[in-house]
Amino acid sequence: MSNTPLTIIAITTAKPGKETALGAAQEKLVAETLVEDGCLRYELHQSLDDGRVRIFVENWASEQQWRAHMQGEAMQRFQTSGVGEYFADFALHRLIKVAG
């Protein structure tokens, strides 16, 4: 695995009526993730156009550290908490910087 920094964009859409519950779980995940090894940035943004859409913007020191996060305790708690039932849609994009 490369030690190249990795950017993640994860776009989530809550089911109607589940915005508050999903948002609370996501905000807890942010707080827990910010202290993880290799986490350079872990932000949660909400769309001004559609309040059900929230977007994670993440920067990790390496893909290996992001993968460790995905298998880590905070993510496991998040995934087993039942929040999967609150998602209408989810998309994740792994990115590397190519310019700028």
pLDDT digits (tens, 9 = 90+) for 9-44: 999 999 999 999 999 999 999 999 999 999 999 999
pLDDT tier, 100 (very low <50, low <70, confident <90, very high otherwise):
confident
**For the chain, which domains are there?**
6-95 (3.30.70.100)
66, with CB counted inside 10 A (0-12, 13-18, 19+), is: buried
Answer yes or no: pTM beyond 0.85: yes
Q: Is the pLDDT of residue 2 over 70?
A: no
Between CA 68 and CA 13 the distance in angstroms is 25
